[in-house]
Chains A and B, each alone.
Chain A
């Protein structure tokens, strides 16, 4: 597929042009190659999954995308521009939000405050005005609070608004973390194993939220997941990684029938 091309999903959504493109990414830690020469793209409005067995390099890939890691080789293109060396917080300002595999919330802060931090990239008043709680600072605080309340309604977590997140059960913490990322109104949302460690019911809830986010806000989503069943249900296109290499890329059906993918997941007999 080329840059401008669009495609239709089976459920009738139109997927637009490229939001992000990874070109020949190679990432090494000392002598260990975590990612070897991987290329793929993410398109406007789609749900793109990255799957693979443990240690395949999925999380490393996500860390490259949001700037925690800098690949030794290859290029990251975002909205048609090549990305130079940037700090993670600058990348967040460009509109890339993420969640973490092992929840990274601000555990001492309330649900509301946690989600408010997601708005930081949208708040501009200077520190002096804030310190004096001057007009613009107050107005800005109120406006952003409204967005946050919408996110809270959307995720159905009104009842825990004031609870310190450290006290919440795991499933809810995951939801708050999603809320913090959503509050940023990101152009690209990265989810690192959003359903890891959840029970069936929680997984269903989370799948529904991911689909709703994509549907209602048109947010482009890239997610890593272990659970094949879930991925095949919600993703539009899937990248499969194994030992740091890309072994498959395409629609869930294409990937499911790819012999390399089947071998990687089920093992292959050596005879």
Chain B
């Protein structure tokens, strides 16, 4: 086997890992879209906000420090503690639940029965508000996020795959962080599926996704379900925020990962959880392989930036509802 083959396989595996992260972001979109028909533009910013809050809590940053200092002329910045990672994550999850309650109370509740486009606009507003709010609360400098996930090439995999090739092959290089991310994403999806299939709230969630009126008639409170859904989307954003944040630092460009979720959704369908996962993997692998096979040798590289959108566009022409999305049938 040629070295190119092994390198190609490695690219493929790395594509899968990146794809998992895309899936994770897309999953947040799908959940909210399914249950309330809202395309939540703020999903990416939620990931950013979660990561910012996590770092802030972990490092004992004083929230709104800048604001407090400029009003009262004080010089507070840190509480001077360092929280254990797990505790900080749990607290951040709590913050995400509070966020869900606030969103339901002050936005969704007032926009019931409004056209989808209005709700979409509201989430754009929410996205920018949260970006500004996150900035005000935790400051805008790039922060390092470390919750103890191992990083760098995974030696075990390298050593145990080295025998596959010849003398000049040292095994596949996979980042440990990516592997952890993939495992967590897998667990998250599994627990989501179990929760929605085998618990009463899960059932209520699916019921609301199907028919609001019928859901009300069997005694389901839409408000409660919305809080649950946005909380779950918040947890997913938190996981995505942790993974991306550990990888590339917590910075405001983190919110742009939402844009990568768009082609994933077009591919997988806006209403399908398996679609979000498969779509993410296809995009992840697709863009890496395209870059490797065609982009770098023939097009001068940097195709990763646009490949996903191109693929989604081509896909839209042939299957507008996505791979797993509900088929759009309009009664005439």
Chain B min CB distance to A167 (Å):
14
B219→A121 contact, CB < 8 A:
yes
* C-alpha gap A106/B225 in the complex (Å): 16
Taking a contact as CB atoms under 8 Å apart, the answer to whether B218 and A120 are in contact is: yes
**Could you tell me the distance between the alpha carbons of A87 and B217 in the complex, rounded to whole angstroms?**
10
Contact with A along B4-26 (1 / 0, CB 8 A): 00000000000000000000000
C-alpha gap A173/B238 in the complex (Å) = 41
Contact of B220 among A68, A116, A117, A133 (CB under 8 A): A117
| A269 located at the interface, meaning its Cβ lies under 8 Å from any Cβ of chain B in the complex | no
Task: Enumerate 9 A-B pairs (CB-CB under 8 Å) in ascending A order.
Answer: A89-B216, A89-B219, A92-B216, A107-B210, A118-B218, A119-B200, A130-B195, A130-B201, A137-B199
Report chain B residues within 8 Å CB of A53.
none
Interface residues of A in 179-201 (CB under 8 A from B): 180, 184
Choice from A92, A109, A133, A140 contacting B217 with Cβ under 8 Å: A92
Q: Does A123 contact B (CB under 8 A)?
A: yes
B228 on interface, CB distance cutoff 8 Å: yes
With beta carbons under 8 angstroms apart, the residue of B202, B206, B216, B221 that contacts A68 is B216
Verify A100–B213 contact, CB threshold 8 A.
Answer: yes
Chain B residues with Cβ below 8 Å from A106 are 206-207, 210-211, 214-215
Which residues on B sit within 8 Å (CB–CB) of A117? Answer: 203-204, 207, 215, 218, 220
Residues A130 and B221 in contact, CB atoms below 8 Å apart: no
Flag whether B222 is at the interface (Cβ < 8 A): yes
**A194 to nearest B CB, angstroms?**
14
- The A212-258 residues at the B interface (CB cut-off 8 A) are none
Chain B residues within an 8 Å CB radius of A266 = none
Cα A113 to Cα B197 in complex, Å, equals 9
Contact with B along A83-103 (1 / 0, CB 8 A): 000011110110001101000
Binding site for B on A (CB under 8 A): 66, 68, 87-90, 92-93, 97-98, 100, 104-109, 113, 116-121, 123, 125, 127, 130-131, 133, 137, 140-141, 180, 184
User: In the complex, what's the smallest C-beta–C-beta distance from A113 to chain B, in angstroms?
Assistant: 6
Contact partner of A120 (CB less than 8 A), chosen from B195, B204, B222, is B204
Q: Which 7 A-B pairs have the closest CB atoms?
A: A92-B219, A104-B214, A106-B210, A130-B199, A121-B219, A88-B216, A123-B200
Least distance between A44 CB and chain B CB atoms (Å): 22
**A116 CB to nearest B CB, Å:** 6
A98 to B213, CA, bound (A): 11
Cβ of B198 under 8 Å from chain A: yes
Is there an interface contact between B206 and A113, defined as CB atoms closer than 8 Å?
Answer: yes
Minimum Cβ distance to chain A for residue B98 (Å): 15
Set A66, A120, A184: member contacting B203, Cβ < 8 A: A120
Chain A's closest residue to B213 (CB) is A104
Establish whether residues B203 and A113, one from each chain, have CB atoms under 8 Å apart when the complex forms. yes
Whether the pair A130, B200 counts as a contact (CB closer than 8 A) is yes
Closest Cβ of chain B to A31, distance in Å, is 21
Q: Which partner residue on chain A sits nearest B227 by CB separation?
A: A127
CB of B188, distance to nearest CB on chain A (Å): 13
Residue from A109, A130, A141, A184 within 8 A of B219 (CB atoms): A184
Q: Are B210 and A108 in contact (CB under 8 A)?
A: yes
User: How far, in whole Å, are A184 and B195 apart by their CA atoms in the complex?
Assistant: 22
A3 to B202, CA, bound (A): 42
Q: Using an 8 Å CB-CB cutoff, how does the interface string of B218-238 with A read, 1 for contact, 0 for none?
A: 111110000010000000000
New A-B contacts (5) at CB < 8 Å, excluding given A90-B219, A116-B200, A127-B228? A106-B215, A109-B206, A118-B218, A119-B200, A130-B199
Nearest chain B residue, comparing its CB with the CB of A137 = B199
A127 to B232, CA, bound (A): 12
Measured in the bound complex, the distance between the Cα atoms of B207 and A93 in whole Å is 17
Let me know if B198 and A133 touch, CB within 8 A: yes
Cβ–Cβ contact A68 & B195, under 8 A = no
- CB-defined interface of B173-208 with A at 8 Å, one 1/0 digit per residue? 000000000000000000000110011111110110
Q: In the complex, A90 Cα to B220 Cα: how many Å?
A: 8
Given the known inter-chain contacts A109-B206, A113-B203, A133-B199, please indicate yes or no for A120 contacting B219, CB distance below 8 A. yes
| Residues of chain B contacted by A105 (CB below 8 angstroms) | 210-211, 214
Given contacts A109-B210, A141-B198, contact A93 B219 (CB under 8 A): yes
Contact B218 A97, beta carbon cutoff 8 Å: yes
The residue from B199, B203, B222 contacting A131, defined by CB atoms under 8 A apart: B199
Q: List, in ascending order, chain B residues with CB within 8 A of A93's CB.
A: 219
